[in-house]
Structure 1
């Protein structure tokens, strides 16, 4: 296979003895005896397993292989999603810092809603519990992707459109003509 080329994949292999390749990741095939099938079904729960069972036409082994493939595909998305999270977080932090100062999350003028304030308080506690200083780099890195996405939302009674988006966060997307709703 040429360098950089990805192997062709299918929903599940015709020959179940083949390894399943997803991008550069290989999921090793393993024997699925009846006891192993039953144990895996039990650990997944009948509700979760039924989704894969329906997709495989009721074939148990194909359903488990499909589940394994889904797990591998999900893992393949981790790197790009992590990159997106860091890029969005850093861009929003940069613009909030420019507008409200390095510890923008403590500045009352940001108008952060109670949920966001609670998340910041928990992030500070988590940082301190790890014996690190609760300074902007550590606090910002401790906030979840959901926190950053929520800053692009309406903000409830806080009106993030007027308080955060227009004066600061819109600048985090300099090459895109986005409104707050599209960015969210």
Structure 2
């Protein structure tokens, strides 16, 4: 009988970690993103730029498109298309977080991506565009302006790549 109960215990579902810390990280990314956007809108006029260093400035610009203003002049449908895409991605990421809550790097990456996506969705719903304000430049070259949400998405994507490379290396 003791052997059977041990077998039944080990044959049960794999215990997963809690999803709440990951949702908390996503919420933190959303809050930092939205607070920085509120501050920049209050302190800057549209198009105003203030140098911080020789290669970095703060500037208030609006992005009606996606990354790097992709589809910014598409006629308006992109606001709702990118909003829907962000919401669908957030639901899918929640599902992934529930299934893999014990995988720290993977869930950190997904949480940052979800937080960034929702941060930009909030902008699209409230303002009709995304507020960008971080401007990296060198001499006459400017990286397209971005925001904290974009940074969270980028860091999350890099972490996903790192996590996958580690997973592949361990499988060898």
Q: Report the TM range for the smaller structure's normalisation.
A: under 0.3
Considering fraction of residues, name the structure with more strand: 2
TM-score of the two chains, using structure 2 as the length reference: 0.24
User: Which of structures 1 and 2 has the larger relative contact order (alpha carbons within 8 angstroms, sep 6+)?
Assistant: 2
Larger radius of gyration: 1
